[in-house]
Structure 1
């Protein structure tokens, strides 16, 4: 095999000092070479050292360049799921209260009470399909990530005769800066820090049990890892106040945006063996400004601000493939955080002051795998509020719900399921000699996660 020898070939096989020595031997008589070799040795050693230093500088420059390229690179990912829901519902005490509200998922507060048994209604939709997009970028100051997710639930813009259109809506949109190995800052909209979303049961209904916390909102959150199995979260989140009038009405509005301070949440997460759990504490300001007429027909300029709290415990106990999930929450300012605001945060009294409402809610869920591709969940849930005696008879006093399902997953990401739901709403006092109403619901869902 012929090979062309060049200086480049040689430099790959020998050191610079060796090459110089070889050239000297090739062009000089042997006696001269011997004398020259002896006198040139210090020079060759110096030259070899300079070449080694140059090689080191070049290697460091190349390594720095590669590091900068890695740190500056942004990774992208996207995903989501497609979901069809087929829902048949029957209310025990009348027709569904508001068409479109409570048809697509369980909203216990709109269950009618005090009427005649309603007809069965069938609804089919794909509104809860969703898509998300995220990025991750390594920088010299840590890793910065972004996440945005939207679906098409709630905001219907067409009708069911032709288009069945639904507007896209933002679910999550936030950045997360992991500024050191144990600490990060999140800024944007996502699940409230007060809500441990990982404890939600494995069900087909979009929201779930009546006693669950459920809230997404804008926030600024700091997270610090305390150990390999524990962390601490501190967040300030967007405030809003929902209030009854003294007579149980909304006193002209149900939501007030007069807060001067954010909702503040402190949460501790930990794991012990197969049990993961969290404790969360919520501190809120409830405030409003409103002109209204009280029960004595007096014109009132309402203007009040009070502070309330909420506490929550959530846990997941894993044993084999099965698990038990639970959540219990209580406080005098849970209001909008509990069960899609099935209760208000407080009541506007006749004198314009805010009286807070003690509430409690929770659930327990058991998930069982019958076989690798077959699973079921049974969920029992309840909540209640200690309303003042002066609220309207139709004011909700408590709720109960039960979910039972069977889900088949033939391949990863593909699920077919059927679920039975029963929920009850109990009012403060009877309406037409009846103080409670029920909904019985059968739901089929087909879902593919990509």
Structure 2
């Protein structure tokens, strides 16, 4: 990686001190990646008193403090992810949410998870636009604008925007298996629901004149983790989508997450990160057309026919969730969660090095734990890979993982060289 762009980690005393080896926000190029915020009062270092409403207020207050500290505003938020312990608390959280986003609405994902650190009821993370970029002492295009998009061919929500583009990425709200004509879940089981979720994503992309194969990363949330095979059966009918993609067997990077519950009692929901080669104004046409997606797999990490290990577009690499599988044996590594965390991170390191990058280029890490109490053991392994604690991070407890895995980890990585034909 060159010094043309710099990974910029920042912290503020106005938000809670990190309870692990991570930074509150890490900017790279045109995005700020925030660590998930727990409902911690920064003055006391403890959870605020009260229920989900009070905890959500504190989470958003912490996010606002971080955003304010880097001279941005809440309207610069592109995407919000809400992890909640109890689906019944979503209405209370939504009431708080509306008070922080009174006009513009970001894209949004809501998922019920098995557990959160400190036994919190809710945690919230955010992706924030960063128009000034991260070239040291050389502001880039601080006047870049967000482009929002809505189409009646996909479900609409009063709480989120279907797609928000900034610079060279479109971020989509998680799509539930809702028929946009009826506003209800489609009939049938998980296969039918997966089809509808992917159809909704496709409808949004078509409304933007963006092909389905411009998807860089997918996150699939499953209420019943045993439904993975049924979902994969549907998935292979959507990817690859075009003749060009089929010729190179392109599939996006992917993470599958066990949800304890989903809105509307759905069995599945899917969110997508999409390349946006057109960029957003005032980028000029001659400066922005023709960027390509670069997908890469290495034998030094586990390979799957259903996902690409790393997919780069413009100035970011998106890495598929890595399980604690030894690529040489194809088996889970021996030992407990610490050894499994080491293997997940070793796989990520192998993938990153295969595209001529280093672990210092990682800007965001997402950790999914079968037992949230294992986070201290994970941190022991984690510090060996991130001694400076630079990447932003989100940790959630999940109800299930593949096989006997205790952990899976995915990551977002800086890509300073960009993707062709960047000059």
Normalising by structure 1, what TM-score? 0.28
Flag the structure with more relative contact order, 1 or 2, with Cα contacts below 8 A and sequence separation at least 6: 2
Greater helix share, 1 or 2? 2
Greater Cα radius of gyration, structure 1 or 2? 1
Greater strand share, 1 or 2? 1
Normalising by structure 2, what TM-score? 0.29
